[in-house]
A = this chain, B = another copy of it.
Amino acid sequence: MTYTAQMIETYPAEIELDHQELARVIDALSNCAQTCTACADACLSEPADELPRLARCIRDNLDCADICTTTASVLSRHTGYDAALTHAQVRAALQATKTCGDSCEEHASTHEHCRICAQACRETQQALESLLPKLEPKGQGPRQPSQAAPQQGG
């Protein structure tokens, strides 16, 4: 069991999402962020005649790394859960992994790091696609007032 899963199990209030799936998505996002950071740097060290066509791929790597890191953090917080915010950020991560996966795939046959990064993006995209409908903000009223004990807001 990873630390991610252990932290979910020891959270002092209830988490309504499936614990295993949540841990898997958070770990996929963390791994994808690292892979994208590394892929951007690997692209920068490609030979001079290769580098220009990798410019967009680098940019997409940087966006995807930032967005996956932030989304992993949002999904790691459960206190005062806000469905609309989580849903919107997960949608942004879905788009970022799709965009970056497409960019890296274009270079997968010439650059191994792009092939691996495309794979990390696709896996994360699929994990997010499966999670997204479970985050749908319900037709619920506004969040409970924050005077409610925070441990009941999970």
Residues of A whose CB lies within 8 Å of any CB of B are 2-4, 6-8, 10-13, 26, 30-31, 33-35, 37-42, 44-48, 51-60, 62-63, 65-67, 69-70, 72-74, 76-80, 82, 84-85, 88-89, 91-92, 94-96, 99, 103, 106, 111-113, 116-117, 120, 143, 145-147, 149-151, 153-154
Chain B residue at minimal CB-CB distance from A154? B45
Q: Dominant SS at the A interface?
A: helix
Number of copies: 4
Partner of A42 from B11, B45, B70, B88 at Cβ < 8 Å: B11
A35 and B55 contacting across the interface, CB-CB below 8 Å: no
A69 to B65, CA, bound (A): 11
